């Protein structure tokens, strides 16, 4: 499924459904996609990934996505 060009409000819930997928590559791409579809719900999901994910590659991608999002005014 191509999520490019779709609104974050539609894409982020779809990505969140796969945060705990058994496949590492799926979880990695979820973290990447949440960073690309920037909204507060995705930001919280990325924080959740960092707090609960065991795979270092997925955690690193979630951290990279958060860094690309920048500071969220609601969290300052």
Q: How confident is the model at residue 5 (pLDDT cuts 50, 70, 90)?
A: confident
Answer yes or no: is pLDDT of 11 > 60. yes
Confidence (pLDDT) at 76: 43
Contacts of 40 (CB under 8 A, 6+ apart): 72, 74
- What distance lies between CA 20 and its chain's CA centroid? 12
User: Where are the chain's structural domains?
Assistant: 8-70
Q: Phi first, then psi: what are they for 5, rounded to 5°?
A: 85, -5
User: What's this model's pTM, rounded to 2 decimal places?
Assistant: 0.86
Q: What is the rounded distance in angstroms from the CA atom of residue 73 to the CA atom of residue 36?
A: 18
Task: Note the pLDDT tens digit of each residue in 23-34.
Answer: 999 999 999 999
What CATH class does 8-70 carry?
A: mainly alpha
Confidence (pLDDT) at 28: 97
Q: 37: which DSSP letter?
A: S
């Amino acid at each position: 499924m191509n999520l490019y060009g779709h609104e974050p409000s539609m894409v982020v819930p779809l990505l969140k459904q796969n945060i705990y997928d058994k496949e590492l590559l799926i979880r990695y791409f979820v973290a990447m996609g949440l960073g690309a579809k920037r909204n507060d719900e995705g930001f919280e999901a990325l924080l959740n990934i960092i707090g609960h994910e065991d795979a270092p590659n997925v955690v690193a991608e979630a951290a990279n996505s958060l860094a690309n999002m920048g500071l969220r005014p609601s969290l300052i």
